[in-house]
Amino acid sequence: MLSGAIVAIVTPFKGGKVDEKAYRDLINFVIRGGVNGIVPCGTTGESATLSHEEHERVIDITVEEVNKRVPVIAGTGSNSTGEAIRLTRHAKEIGADAALLITPYYNKPTQKGLYEHYKAVASACNIPQILYNVPGRTGVNMATETVVELSKIDNIVGIKEASGDLVKCSQIVRDTADDFCVLSGEDALNYPIMCCGGTGAISVTANVLPDRLSALCKAWNSGDVKTAQKLHLDLLDINQALFIETNPIPVKTALAMMGRVVEEFKLPLCPMSEANKKKLAEVLRRYGCIS
């Protein structure tokens, strides 16, 4: 079962290309910080604007650099079922440990369409797969009943839940098998979702503070509720600051302020406003990320 602090890692760019050195350095930074897994090519990794070649290369680098130290959960979702199958097959062939598949976006499938999409990918690719529900991004909300039915497919092993609905998270935990993992997809709700029975989080904040996210999840999973709650409350401000503009703009800007990446995005993402950048810097100073 996947658990603990899993980082939804950014994709650094330099001069319009993937900055492989900065990316490898970032992978090692978060592993030293204690993360339990890495998700390349998710929303935070700007997957929607990566070319197919870049997407595959980023996953290749991740698997190579991680070198089995922690699980690699490759983002391989698409609004095209055929493309999702192709990306997931590549992830399996290159040695990823699992795949994360966002609900198809823009085309707004029905619940039956969602079920058939995920069933088709699972049938075509024998690799553990995690559903990803984030209706604020995709325009479609996967129903609890759909998740429960999909959980009965052997290689669908969990869900990243970013709907913000704690009742839904609780229902999924209640109605699925004990080995089906529910992972938080929203940093502000990492602790509440674990309180509902979640096993961990796929975190944006873990790019910047991997040690504190790891400590929170480890405390919870070891039964130290008081420490987990304290860490959750301590992280509230930075969790909020890293979503002051569209993700991953703030987290990438934070990493640039920390000297870990170049502040470069693929359009239509663009640099933060100066006012928000100033607010972000103030929060980063309070957390000791920058001087």
Residue 261 lies in a domain: no
Residue 283 lies in a domain: no
State the pTM of this model: 0.95
**Token pair in block for residue 57:** 């290369």
Mean pLDDT to the nearest integer, 156-162: 98
Q: pLDDT at residue 40 above 90?
A: yes
Tens-digit pLDDT profile for residues 59-86: 999 999 999 999 999 999 999 999 999 9
Closest CA to 199 of 211, 216, 67: 216
Proportion of the chain above pLDDT 90, given as a percent: 99
Between 274 and 2, residue with greater pLDDT: 274
What is the per-residue pLDDT for 92?
97
Mean pLDDT to the nearest integer, 198-216: 98
Q: pLDDT at residue 158 above 90?
A: yes
Contact 18, 198 (CB under 8 A): no
Mean pLDDT to the nearest integer, 43-68: 96
Which among 132, 218, 252, 277 is annotated as catalytic? 132
Tens-digit pLDDT profile for residues 229-285: 999 999 999 999 999 999 999 999 999 999 999 999 999 999 999 999 999 999 999
**Active site annotation includes 17:** no
Which among 160, 218, 252, 277 is annotated as catalytic? 160
What is the per-residue pLDDT for 232?
98
Residue 127 lies in a domain: yes
Domain count, the chain: 1
What is the per-residue pLDDT for 16?
94
Using a 10 angstrom Cβ sphere, with 0-12 exposed, 13-18 middle and 19 or more buried, the burial of residue 258 is: middle
Q: Which domain holds residue 205?
A: 4-222
The CATH number of whichever domain residue 208 belongs to comes to 3.20.20.70
**Active site annotation includes 23:** no
Instruction: 145-149: list long-range contacts, CB under 8 Å, 24+ apart.
Output: 145/111, 146/111, 146/114, 146/115, 147/172, 147/176, 148/172, 148/175, 148/176, 149/115
Residue 74 lies in a domain: yes
Residue 43 lies in a domain: yes
Residue 258 lies in a domain: no
Residue 232 lies in a domain: no
What is the per-residue pLDDT for 185?
97
Q: pLDDT at residue 57 above 90?
A: yes
Residue 75 lies in a domain: yes
Mean pLDDT to the nearest integer, 119-141: 96
